[in-house]
Structure 1
Amino acid sequence: MVSLMQTLVIPLLPQLPRLLHTSTANASWVITATLLTSAVATPLLGRLGDLYGRRRLMLTAVVSLTAGSLVCALGSTLLLMVLGRTLQGLGISVIPLGISIMRDVLPPRRLGPAVALMSSSLGVGGALGLPLSATVAQHLGWHAPFWFAAGLGCVFTVLIITVVPESPVRVRQRFDAAGAVGLAVGLVALLLPISKGGDWGWTSTPVLGLLVVSAIVLGSWARWELRATAPIVDLRSSARRPVLMTNLATVAVGFAMYSANLLGPQMLQLPTATGYGQGLSMLQAGLLMAPGGLTMMAFSPLAARMSQALGPRSCLLLGSMVICAGNVLAQLLIGTAWGVLVFNIVNSAGVGFAYAAMPNLIMRSVPVSETAAANGLNSLARSLGTSTASTVVGLVLGQLTIQLGSVAVPSETGIRVCLAIGAAGALVATLVELAIPVRPAPEPPKAPIGDLETITRPATS
């Protein structure tokens, strides 16, 4: 459900300026608002989960997502849509919070498969969300996908209350409010120019000014966190080689994955007159891309078994190499719909292996008192990769174009360059992953014993 929110509005994007009576540039805030909120909220809600209960914060995230869906379903103005999408962005925190609960309540033999399945749900929801949203909007109106999302939110709210157990672990520490504000301001100042640089101009005063602000704020924030007794993000723990290399690899994998996700629909929807486009509608392209998400879910049990047998590092390495191979293979298959399908399936299989390994690499390298915050930081790393990929692919395809009548469309050269960049991103991820220790030394609990509270854990089999 959470990943479905990421693709919910994509079929509506061409119509949003008309529907909301605004410009195309202003309508893009519907996407940007969710990106910024999810990036900022994920590490913050993760830390709050460590302090006050991960199930409680998971419920908060789903309720916020549901409320945001209702605002969008009832609203017909840009302001209400941006507000609703901002609330929806909080929902992405469900994934790291859920994985953290699994670590606390599941026995080791069941943890790997459960984490792999939950991680793969990111791809499944994203892949199925595109054709689902397009179909619902086409037959029931543009507000209908948001009503559908609100209904799903209500169902999952009830399921969390009745089925999901609370984590048996608490950390009795104060919430670092100053650190939270610093992280939020720094991330917004960093991600906003990355997202809007194409509209504002990369050398414009707002873009350069925000980048300077982000450097100053994040630098000051890092110094504060290093001195804080209960930081939002334990930078010393995050700087340990297993955690740091995993997060850097996550950025690169997120970049390679999202560049492929952007290129597939482009190749399917470009006019056939180009010689390499397939001329499909948004719905047809979405249906052809959907098997990728199903591939991720199908490969998750295999990825879990591989992680248990050979270690999550090997699983992550395999995933990155498969993603790289998929981008290279796509160079040979440009010009056919089945070629895009094969490219998407191969890429999704690689992403499935990589996503199954990342949380396990993080969790085996951090104390239990920091599980949710550390997983939240890993999700933030993935967001940085996808945001950068969106910007880079947009820049390349916008510069390397051909004229088709009076319209400029991405050229075959532009697509090939983007595929090469995606392959390079996956190759960088592979090289970074080689620096991850095969078996890191166990990390002692970071919080003092007096700061940890353990609730009696229910028996699990």
Structure 2
Amino acid sequence: MLRGGAGLGGEGEYDVRYAWRATGILVTLTLVVMYTEGMLVPSLPTIQDQMGISAADASWILSIYILMGTLSSAIMGKLGDLYGKKRMLLTTMVIYTVGAFITGFSVNYPMLLVGRALQGVGMAMMPLAFALVREEFPPRMVPQVQGLISAMFGVGMAVSLPLGAYVSQTMGWQATYHTVYPFIVLEDLMVYLYIRESRVRNPQPIDWVGLFLLTVSLSSGLIALTEAPTYGWSDPMVISLLVLFVLSFGVFILYETTERYPLVPVNLLGNRNVLASNIGVALAGFALFLMAQAVTYLFESPQPLGYGLDILSTGVMMIPMALVQMVVAPIAGRVITRIGAKILAIIGSSIAIIGLVMLTLLSFSGLPLIILSMSVLAAGVSMVNVSVINILVFSVGRRNMALATGLNSVFRNIGSAWGPAVAGTLMSMYQAPLIVSLNPIYWVELPSHFAYQLMFILTAVLYVFAIMIIVTLSQEIFVRGEIRVRAYE
């Protein structure tokens, strides 16, 4: 279907009053989820001590969430196109609610992992919500709503990081979950009562073989990335998992080209805008999670290899970065139709590069300069996120909308998984000794200055690559306030 010359101002078949009402529900849904997830991060050292687990075990509290979320985003997107996006959105929300209750009342490590895995299934909420916005909202509203939803990522983190650290230190880490239960249940009820079911269906049988191959590929790859910093990239288990990831993904792609009703349509994979947006969002996730891990170690490592801050102070230092996301994302959603999504993506990537170069040069020049550098990076990443999601949803037909947004979340999660893995590897490779006792002499090995600088400059190079991809692959979707792109059904 060719969408050419379609102005953004026409409302036609859309119910504008419903769209604004639904916007409030979907925006607060994003806020509640990000608030819940952000509150857990400062509690990880406490959970590790209370449950008597290793640092490697503690990393799985986040990794299993990413793993299940990646698989869920791919599967639920297809099911949303098949059975209805609201139905699958509500299903994932209920699963997330059950998982949050299990996590908050966990008494041992296995129970905690079960809860986190169920919460990960709920990660498919975001792509389903994005798909509903594109399908049911007037086109002129879509960029603004996408910007508001993206802004809630920053608001949720801005509130949850310091508050989560405070609640964890004063009332215990389980209390961080108990405080959000009423809001999670309320969101479930609001979506059930007030969100309308999508009108477009794609009645194709489920590609179970493709689903199995994709599950094997994503699982092996993410497990390898999670375990590599602990066991080393040369460990036989890690190498075997990476080989399995590459082989199974290759077989998956080959199989999908022969399947009549593939899990991921070939024409969708061949859409230049879909490819560009997926690469862009993967790089954005990589940069954000690599930076989060790097600056956490930088803030909490003892001087002179860090700044010697406690957990609560570290959370407070993250607030400006989150606030920048909160402000920049909705502004980007408003201006994107005037300047174009492609131009906004290039501007955002360029600003992200500036922020990363600043971090490379100013990491040990004082906290104010680090916070400034992080804020510049956050502004650029926010612009990239808003631009690529709009490039995606205006380049895909309604029949495959949930599948496309789910696939986009898969790429985001893969990038998010690579970020901490690469950060952990580089911090393990480049360390410096720090004497902590003179009688007797005792020292520890911590990440060196060069490790942080290498991480930041590596991410800057990747954003240069992102600009090249956007320039060469993507097609502009907004020209003088009109949609000008071919949408693949």
TM-score (norm. length: structure 1): 0.91
Structure 1 position 445, deviation (Å): 5.4
Distance 2:107 2:379 in 1: 39
Change (3 A) 1:198 1:262: closer
Unaligned runs of at least 5 residues, structure 2: 1-31, 436-442, 478-483
Cα deviation, 1:108-151, whole Å, max 9, x if unaligned, reads 11111001111232333234332222111112212112223433
Change (3 A) 1:434 1:329: same
1:397 counterpart residue number: 427
- Pairing 1:151-230 to 2, within 5 Å after superposition: 151-230=182-261
Contact 1:32 1:195 in 2 (8 A): yes
SS class of match (2:249): helix
- Pairing 1:298-447 to 2, within 5 Å after superposition: 298-335=327-364, 336-405=366-435, 406-439=443-476, 442-443=485-486, 446=489
Distance 2:246 2:430 in 1: 31
- Pairing 1:126-145 to 2, within 5 Å after superposition: 126-145=157-176
Contact 2:74 2:410 in 1 (8 A): yes
2:26 counterpart residue number: none
What letter matches 1:407 in structure 2? V
Structure 1 position 311, deviation (Å): 1.6
Structure 1 position 352, deviation (Å): 1.3
What letter matches 1:428 in structure 2? F
1:454 counterpart residue number: none
TM-score (norm. length: structure 2): 0.86
Contact 2:164 2:176 in 1 (8 A): yes
Distance 2:239 2:298 in 1: 33
Contact 1:5 1:88 in 2 (8 A): no
1:289 counterpart residue number: 318
What letter matches 2:447 in structure 1? P
Distance 2:221 2:363 in 1: 35
SS class of match (2:201): strand
Distance 2:488 2:464 in 1: 34
Distance 1:59 1:243 in 2: 26
Contact 1:257 1:422 in 2 (8 A): no
Contact 1:187 1:214 in 2 (8 A): yes
What letter matches 1:431 in structure 2? M
Cα deviation, 1:186-232, whole Å, max 9, x if unaligned, reads 10011110111122332222212222222232222222222223222
Distance 2:258 2:471 in 1: 32
- Pairing 1:49-64 to 2, within 5 Å after superposition: 49-64=80-95
What letter matches 2:340 in structure 1? G
Moved more, 154-163 or 75-84: 154-163
Contact 2:277 2:389 in 1 (8 A): no
Identity %: 27
Distance 1:396 1:306 in 2: 38
Whether 1:73 and 2:110 are equivalent positions in the alignment is no
Pairs aligned (count): 444
RMSD of aligned alpha carbons: 1.9
Cα deviation, 1:141-190, whole Å, max 9, x if unaligned, reads 12112223433321211121123222221222222222222211110011
Unaligned runs of at least 5 residues, structure 1: 447-461
Contact 2:167 2:176 in 1 (8 A): yes
Structure 1 position 5, deviation (Å): 4.4
Distance 2:83 2:163 in 1: 36
SS class of match (1:168): coil
**Pick aligned residue for 1:112 from 143, 164, 167:** 143
